[in-house]
Amino acid sequence: MNDELKHKAEGALGKAKEKVGDASDDESLKGEGRRDQSKADLKQAGDKAKDAFKR
């Protein structure tokens, strides 16, 4: 359960980075935010797969 919360927090941080990058017209920060969100999404998918096998 702890990993799931951590991965959701990473996704939220990525979304925040993307918004700040968008507001400040910083394409690098915006891209970093998108990348962080994608990584968090993959980790969350892994968490769901792990949970499915536990049942």
Show me where the domains of the chain are located. Answer: 2-54
pLDDT at residue 55 is higher than 80: no
- Residue that has been written with the tokens 């797969």 in this structure: 49
pLDDT at residue 8 is higher than 70: yes
Q: How many CB atoms lie within 10 A of CB 14?
A: 20
Looking at per-residue pLDDT, the higher value among 15 and 51 belongs to 15
CB-based contact 19:36 (threshold 8 Å): no
pLDDT confidence tier of residue 24, bands split at 50, 70 and 90: very high
Instruction: Say what the pTM is.
Output: 0.83
pLDDT confidence tier of residue 53, bands split at 50, 70 and 90: confident
